Amino acid sequence: MSKIAFQGQLGAYSHLACTMVNADAEPVPYDTFAQAIEAVEKGVAHWAMIPLENSSAGRVEEIYRQLPKTHLNIVAEHFQPVSHCWMALPGATPSWITSHPQALAQCHDRIQSLGLNSIVEFDTAGAAKLLAQSQDLTGSVIASELAASLYGLEILERSFEDISGNTTRFIILEKSNKACQFESGKSYITSIIFTVKNIPAALHKVLGGFATNGLNLLKIESYLDNSTLHSSRFHIDIAEHIDSPNMQRAIEELQFFASQYRWLGTYEAHGFRNT
């Protein structure tokens, strides 16, 4: 059976994303993102399910630091809605609630309305597991429906978050260094990281190359290169297949003004983008 690595405990939202993308693959939890990525690099797992950004919490900074260090490529993306559940042991009368800080913040108003004391834990599924092990009938937790099923907890309320629509974008990493085959009628995304040369208007000219070739930049992220404080690294997603003539012309111009360039992957755009 193929394995898909993720960071966190069984029952985490990353685990849920794994089951949604490939229900036949075995989800394998790791303590850190680096360990999950390394599992694929060493052939222990076939894929790594990695969160890149969240609609309410923003980008996952650590992943932008990890991507340049790995030789893995992005082969797919997945948008996972985050719907929190309030849960406890059967027969419990909760006076306190625990979860990851972001989950507690996203459910702040509901927690306040119930008069529960909040206790911070390292992650949602880990908090659920600890509560199940403790058998404390005064406790409750915010986690996924999958976590409730895995750890024998009773769901007291679904959609516990204050504002609906919270979504995490995941990327799926694999050893493959080939772009997915182009099919007419489908939408594609190409992800690239680069560092511009230290010359005037270099970034402007790089981005201008995509504009003059009629290409849509879906996102651009900048962050300092780990090795120096004098240059920034850029991560861009373009709504185009890597093999299109327009993309090839834009990349040729990019490489003229870039001191470093790496193609991260070309993959089919997730259907969530059309909603």
Q: Which residues are annotated as catalytic?
A: 168, 170
Helix (H, G, I), strand (E, B) or coil at 104: helix
Ranges of beta strands (E only) in the chain are 3-7, 26-30, 47-54, 58-59, 73-81, 85-88, 96-99, 117-120, 139-143, 154-157, 167-174, 188-196, 217-224, 232-238, 258-268
For residues 229 and 179, the answer to whether their CB atoms sit within 8 Å is: no
**Integer angstrom CA distances of residue 275 from 152, 167, 191:** 34, 13, 21
Q: At 211, which helix (H) or strand (E)?
A: helix 202-212
Question: In the chain, what is the straight-line distance between the N-terminal and C-terminal CA atoms, in Å?
Answer: 33
Distance of alpha carbon 123 from its chain centroid, rounded? 15
